[in-house]
Amino acid sequence: MLWDMRLDAARRTRIASHSLVQVLGRDIARNIELYDLSLRAIVDGMKLPAVVNADPATRQLILFDRAATAENFGHTLVFDKLGNLVISSKSLDVPPLNYADREYFQYHATHDDPGLHISQPIISRLTGRRVLILSRRLSGPDGSFAGVAIGSVYLDYFRQLFAAVGDHLGNITLSGPGGSIVMREPYDELEIGRSVSATDSYQKLVQAKDGSFEGAAMMGEGTRSFVFTQVGDLPLHLSIAVKPEDIYVEWWRKALVIGAVVLSLCAITMVLTWLFRCELIQRKAAERATAALNAELEQLALTDPLTGLANRRRYDEVLAREWRRCQRQSLSLSLLLLDADCFKGFNDRYGHQQGDEALKLIARSIEAALGRASDTACRIGGEEFAVILPETDARGAEIVAHRICETVAARAMPHVANPHSVVTVSCGVAHDALAKTPGAMCAAADEALYDAKRAGRNQIKVSHARETHLHLVAG
């Protein structure tokens, strides 16, 4: 019941807001359309030589109808192509004014759009009042720019219109071109002309003719429930934004009364539920501890205890998974097999404890040479290592292999049984393009590894690929 009441409160607010924006939008659209008809009559009249050449009084009588002199409308003016004022609806004596610097004049001078143009809110130079400028382009017989006809709507018209709607929830906002605030109720003069175009809510508002949504306030903090509509086909958008807490004020009063009754009747049930919850918490804590222990054991089962790299089991799983993924998505997959050179001789000369240190050195060198989290380094045997390189072609894999070999050699761990006098590794490189199964790719990499051993160790060989003799130079 409470939930239905809450939904009903939101629905009633949305319906009331929608009705209000529709009524206000139609009133604004109708008045602007009437004024625009006057501007169209001026544009058409200025095309007639008889009107242009008539005496000022007759011309003013022909061009300006009574709609252009209504209470809420300011001066209706005509400017020539240089921006000089040539005709005014309010006076036969035209003051020497130039409006070429105004945005609407520059727009018409650079655009051949014959339609109605609406400016952002400005302060009139003639009256000193805030106005919204409606303008149309005057064109010569050849279509060239011949001037501008403008009319002004006082912003007080919108203020009086919004104030007349009486009691309502939320803020009423009329936004103009570019997201500038034309009028807002409750009225705040500092907000007039402010742009809200960068807000997410305004971007949603201009994407549709009308509708409703929940979004961040265009001005101020918090979220609002928006109901909006476009004013006719004009670049004007009317919206009502209501705070959620204002929507549910009455609902909260009822909810508190009903909730208090329900809570008093359910006190015993709540106590029993709390005791049951405590038992569940203890059980869940035990389950989490068990899950953490299982995860740790699983990690240990997949990790080589000496080097900290992935072990053979993990290697088999990752290789099979990456092979399927790369085949499915048509991606490259490369495999490196590495082997410590003359490692038996190393153990015989320095002992198994130092041999373990050499294996750790190789493991750290491999990790240092890898640059992506998706690359997987593994120890798959005594002194054998593997590196799985997803989304890497043979050329890229060869670069990684050289980086590993040079990193190991650069550590300069003495190894008298090695022809190079330091611990080194040999590497075989295989690519999925040359193999039909993961096992075939492993075999190809292993064959390339033995080729590297036979070539003198501390070498890199690419399976079925031409040796590039690529060397990396440390910067």
pLDDT tens, position by position, 458-471: 999 998 744 444 44
Per-residue pLDDT tens for 21-46?
899 989 989 988 888 888 888 888 88
CA separation for the pair 377, 394 (Å, rounded): 17
Q: Are 10 and 169 in contact (CB under 8 A)?
A: no
Per-residue pLDDT tens for 317-330?
999 999 999 889 98
- Looking at residue 467, its pLDDT comes to 43
In this model, does residue 388 exceed pLDDT 90? Answer: yes
Q: How far apart are the first and last CA of the chain?
A: 73
- Looking at residue 358, its pLDDT comes to 92
Fold of 312-462: Alpha-Beta Plaits (3.30.70)
Higher pLDDT among residues 17 and 297, named by residue? 17
Task: Note if the pTM is more than 0.85.
Answer: no
> What DSSP designation does 129 have?
S
CATH 1.10.150.120 at 157-247, yes or no:
no
In this model, does residue 311 exceed pLDDT 80? Answer: yes
DSSP, collapsed to helix, strand or coil, labels residue 302 as: coil
Q: Are 132 and 150 in contact (CB under 8 A)?
A: no
Mean pLDDT (whole number) for 233-250: 85
CA separation for the pair 122, 33 (Å, rounded): 20
At CB < 8 A and 24+ separation, what contacts does 182-188 make?
Answer: 182/121, 182/132, 182/155, 182/158, 182/236, 183/155, 183/158, 183/159, 185/159, 187/159, 187/162, 187/163
- Could you tell me the pLDDT band of residue 473, with boundaries at 50, 70 and 90? very low
CA separation for the pair 94, 31 (Å, rounded): 27
- Looking at residue 66, its pLDDT comes to 59
Q: Are 220 and 26 in contact (CB under 8 A)?
A: no
Per-residue pLDDT tens for 102-134?
999 999 999 988 889 998 898 888 888 899 999
Beta bridge partners of 118: 134
Which residue type, as a one-letter code, is found at position 196? Answer: V
- Looking at residue 436, its pLDDT comes to 84
Can you say how many angstroms the Cα of residue 193 is from the centroid of all Cα atoms in its chain? Answer: 27
- Could you tell me the pLDDT band of residue 356, with boundaries at 50, 70 and 90? very high
Per-residue pLDDT tens for 262-271?
888 888 888 8
- For the chain, what is the radius of gyration of the CA atoms? 40
**How many other C-beta atoms are found inside a 10 Å radius of the C-beta of residue 455?**
13
- Could you tell me the pLDDT band of residue 5, with boundaries at 50, 70 and 90? confident
What's the mean pLDDT when you consider all of the chain?
86
Residue 269: which H helix or E strand, with range?
Answer: helix 267-301
Q: Domain limits of the chain?
A: 2-155, 157-247, 267-301, 312-462
Mean pLDDT (whole number) for 405-421: 90
- Could you tell me the pLDDT band of residue 85, with boundaries at 50, 70 and 90? confident
DSSP, collapsed to helix, strand or coil, labels residue 472 as: coil
Q: Are 311 and 299 in contact (CB under 8 A)?
A: no
CA separation for the pair 170, 14 (Å, rounded): 11
Q: Are 336 and 387 in contact (CB under 8 A)?
A: yes
Cα three-residue angle 67-72-76, rounded to 5 degrees: 55
Q: Do domains 2-155 and 157-247 have the same CATH topology?
A: yes
The second-level CATH assignment, the architecture, of 2-155 is 2-Layer Sandwich (3.30)
**How many other C-beta atoms are found inside a 10 Å radius of the C-beta of residue 345?**
13
CA separation for the pair 461, 428 (Å, rounded): 5
CA separation for the pair 200, 206 (Å, rounded): 10
Per-residue pLDDT tens for 149-188?
998 889 988 888 888 876 677 889 999 888 899 999 888 8
Residue 80: which H helix or E strand, with range?
Answer: strand 73-80
Higher pLDDT among residues 393 and 53, named by residue? 393
From residue 462, how far is each of 40, 399, 434 by CA, in Å?
Answer: 79, 11, 11
Q: Are 404 and 387 in contact (CB under 8 A)?
A: yes
- Could you tell me the pLDDT band of residue 70, with boundaries at 50, 70 and 90? low
Percentage of residues in the chain having pLDDT higher than 90: 28
- Looking at residue 361, its pLDDT comes to 93
